[in-house]
Structure 1
């Protein structure tokens, strides 16, 4: 590294650098901090920047709007017990995501390399926590997230042609999800730009579908459909523990805002476009989601809000069936195809963003080197794409969507909380590092407090899975010391553990 940054010279020439460093110590400290954190633009680990501000915003919105807004509203209402409180949950969830996005905006303009949370955790807390994050998120969480989206995509696609009661529906759904993952692997392996164009196109189409939903809601309000809005906060469930499930359902619909930071190295003029894209995309999402939920409340009865699962399909059918069965079926198919388009575009964006994490980790020696390979013809991180795609393909077959969403939410917000806390930590550790965008420390503080509630709350509702995931997370520690740490200290304390157990148990290898 040093040879790349400072050309070799004669000893007498090298000593002449000392006064320069003394006169410009602050600038040198900044440069060294950037190199230590991996900000150096000369490193060969970055992909070509090809995202503009518009394409970044479309990518983030397209990544975020998946199946959630079409299927999660009834889960939120069921958990909190009233339409008024459900709308509050959606707005608060959007604001929580916005505080997280603003915190990431500062981190993203300070550390401009791809990798997102991995880079921030490494800079703030060191290599061990960053590797444990890689172990949990790069190996497990991101692949589970892709599997959730793929299963939802396939479920709605198959529902257009086959009833849920059909004996082969489950097999058809999982086969469709696996096929969708394979197709997206092919597209993203051929060209990153091709994947970006597909994601942007699908983003526009899904926004169009939500626009139609909002128009239908305004139409119903104009006809006097205000019964649920008048109910307000009546019969609200006041148990904060159950609210965490409602928050996870709503936050699942907002999840995806961190994808911008995951691909920061591929965004043109990142210091300006990263914070702009984060703020624009989050404000857009809060507005669209709030209007969509008002539309649901105006069109459906309270009983329908509680009991209908494929809520978007039911809305389309209910609003248009007044003109005949043909139009009712048309409305059902329209929103079914809309969810299919939405989830497929989100799956493409999610797989593209997730593939950058193992790619960057491999470049920095924390994953096998082969995962960091870049295809020479297309410029895509081909092995990273194949890796995420293959593990998501495996998660599709034994998985349940509801459980996967809960697991992904719990794991995501634990690590995001550490990233929010990294904002003040890095201001203290690296005060001289340039920051083109700074937030008030109140914002990461609110984000951290929200994370504490979201991570601690599930322990009071369903503690066993939470403890299980903590145990799996901690397995990353011996893996790090055994295979990543240069001193291989794991082998030393493992030898000591073997000796102790041999004595206590009177056993031998």
Structure 2
């Protein structure tokens, strides 16, 4: 019988870890969600403010995570941090939710996004092209292409960390350069009248309003305005998610005490800057109504048409294909390490806690693949943003509170890196995160409660698994 390695191989340097963070963050969101943000806010000033708030929250969380990653440089990232800061119950609830919906449904959503934009070049792959139907249930060619991509990327990552990191680093560098080129071309195609319409109306620039499809505006009540900002934040936060990817692969990063925290900071700074510049570029070529009514919310497509003409649609389609392919590679790579850590704690299938001959958790990768493919077939990935963003922020808040908690409960632990701006920045994030969670539960309970209920379902499952483990001792 062939011996399999008992530990991960440290193969990822700082560049690889940073590209994992940036590449996992940049998917299809930056090309789409600005349409909904504009509809909710009704002004260029508030649109940019939403992206600034999202960037601030993401960067603040990343800087705080740097302390946790330096203290616990182990595979599993956030799962490990929550276990050490609180208890196995809290970390299991996170791991369960991560496996059931957060990571797997995100993989499905990004996979389908890849297929949707591939259909611009090959219409036969469109989500409206159904291959077969059984009663009211049907499967489109886009769903099957998404499944094919997920299986392909899982297979690449099962061959070893070097295969996964090469794909990740190469594609992330390509999409960063492509986005920078798009931004540059956008500013070169700057339209003075459009820019003035978006930015020169001082009285309207910071007026928070609902922008309707016919171009008219609707006023918010005081509390409605808070709900509008929180609703607008959903897309921005979702587009910035997976910023913690490098912490999940800590066991495979060289000098993890230094490089994980640094990669989190560098990756989030790079992406936040690109997101802000991209949205500023949108306001240079599209007026608010054009952004809000972009076909299927594809703001980047509308911007590219203004910049490059009809040729621009193909350019953006290829960019988004590269972006979503690389994004899914990073999410697939990082996610499996969380389930591996759960299995190591005896809280998941035993096989998931083993490594193959290439020193990667292949069972975890393929199990994740199966669940993600089921999400593709479910057709429910469209509700993902509202369903999981609230839950994701709940766990982020818990982790940041954990930074403060561990300072008091385990002061003896070595802290090679300490959270920048402690305790002010972590506290600001906690307050902002809690405000977002409360507003989402108040104004979008129909969408957010299912995610909360999925997370809570992890509590009885934890006690059931624990009971089974004790019976086998």
Cα shift at 1:444: 1.4
Cα shift at 1:235: 4.2
RMSD: 2.0
Whether the 8 Å contact between 1:229 and 1:298 is mirrored in structure 2 is no
The two structures have a TM-score, normalised by structure 1, of 0.82
- Taking the aligned partners of 1:379 and 1:234, their CA distance within structure 2 comes to 53
Give per-residue Cα distances to partners, 1:339-363, cap 9 Å, x unaligned: 0100000001001100111111111
Q: Residues 166, 477 of structure 1: CA spacing in aligned structure 2 closer, same or farther, 3 A cutoff?
A: closer
- Taking the aligned partners of 2:33 and 2:453, their CA distance within structure 1 comes to 29
Give per-residue Cα distances to partners, 1:299-346, cap 9 Å, x unaligned: 11221111002222222222222xxxxxx2x22101111001000000
Cα shift at 1:264: 1.7
Whether the 8 Å contact between 2:383 and 2:447 is mirrored in structure 1 is no
Counterpart mapping for 1:224-263 below 5 A:
225-226=194-195, 227-231=197-201, 233=205, 235-237=207-209, 239-263=225-249
Give the equivalent residue in structure 2 for 1:314.
302
1:135 aligns to 2:135 (yes or no) = no
Q: Residues 331, 193 of structure 1: CA spacing in aligned structure 2 closer, same or farther, 3 A cutoff?
A: same
Counterpart mapping for 1:203-222 below 5 A:
203-221=172-190
Whether the 8 Å contact between 2:12 and 2:254 is mirrored in structure 1 is yes
Counterpart of 2:38 (choices 73, 77, 80) is 77
Q: Residues 295, 65 of structure 1: CA spacing in aligned structure 2 closer, same or farther, 3 A cutoff?
A: same
Q: Residues 166, 357 of structure 1: CA spacing in aligned structure 2 closer, same or farther, 3 A cutoff?
A: closer
Give the equivalent residue in structure 1 for 2:409.
429
Cα shift at 1:54: 1.3
Unmatched runs of 5 consecutive residues or more in structure 1 = 1-43, 322-327, 490-509
Cα shift at 1:222: 7.0
Counterpart of 1:332 (choices 294, 309, 313) is 313
Give the equivalent residue in structure 2 for 1:119.
80
Give the equivalent residue in structure 1 for 2:349.
368
Give per-residue Cα distances to partners, 1:226-285, cap 9 Å, x unaligned: 131224625423511121121110111111211121112211111111221111112211
Whether the 8 Å contact between 1:359 and 1:373 is mirrored in structure 2 is yes
Q: Residues 458, 216 of structure 1: CA spacing in aligned structure 2 closer, same or farther, 3 A cutoff?
A: same
1:451 aligns to 2:433 (yes or no) = yes
- Taking the aligned partners of 1:319 and 1:140, their CA distance within structure 2 comes to 38
- Taking the aligned partners of 2:68 and 2:114, their CA distance within structure 1 comes to 33
Counterpart of 2:388 (choices 408, 414, 419) is 408
The two structures have a TM-score, normalised by structure 2, of 0.88
Cα shift at 1:205: 1.4
What secondary structure, in the 3-state scheme, does the structure 2 residue paired with 1:49 have? coil
Higher relative contact order (CA 8 A, sep 6+): 2
1:349 aligns to 2:321 (yes or no) = no
Q: Residues 304, 424 of structure 1: CA spacing in aligned structure 2 closer, same or farther, 3 A cutoff?
A: same
Give per-residue Cα distances to partners, 1:19-54, cap 9 Å, x unaligned: xxxxxxxxxxxxxxxxxxxxxxxxx86411111111
- Taking the aligned partners of 2:83 and 2:188, their CA distance within structure 1 comes to 51
Counterpart mapping for 1:262-301 below 5 A:
262-301=248-287
What secondary structure, in the 3-state scheme, does the structure 1 residue paired with 2:200 have? helix
- Taking the aligned partners of 2:234 and 2:6, their CA distance within structure 1 comes to 34
Give per-residue Cα distances to partners, 1:177-231, cap 9 Å, x unaligned: 1111111111111222111101111111111221122112211337564131224
Give per-residue Cα distances to partners, 1:52-91, cap 9 Å, x unaligned: 1111111111111111111111111111111110001101
Cα shift at 1:486: 7.0
Give per-residue Cα distances to partners, 1:138-180, cap 9 Å, x unaligned: 3332111111111111111113222869553971211111111
Unmatched runs of 5 consecutive residues or more in structure 2 = 132-138, 210-219
- Taking the aligned partners of 1:277 and 1:97, their CA distance within structure 2 comes to 13
- Taking the aligned partners of 1:250 and 1:373, their CA distance within structure 2 comes to 36
- Taking the aligned partners of 1:242 and 1:222, their CA distance within structure 2 comes to 29
Q: Residues 400, 229 of structure 1: CA spacing in aligned structure 2 closer, same or farther, 3 A cutoff?
A: farther
Count of residue pairs the alignment pairs up:
438
Counterpart of 2:123 (choices 134, 139, 162) is 162
- Taking the aligned partners of 2:381 and 2:371, their CA distance within structure 1 comes to 16
Cα shift at 1:475: 2.3
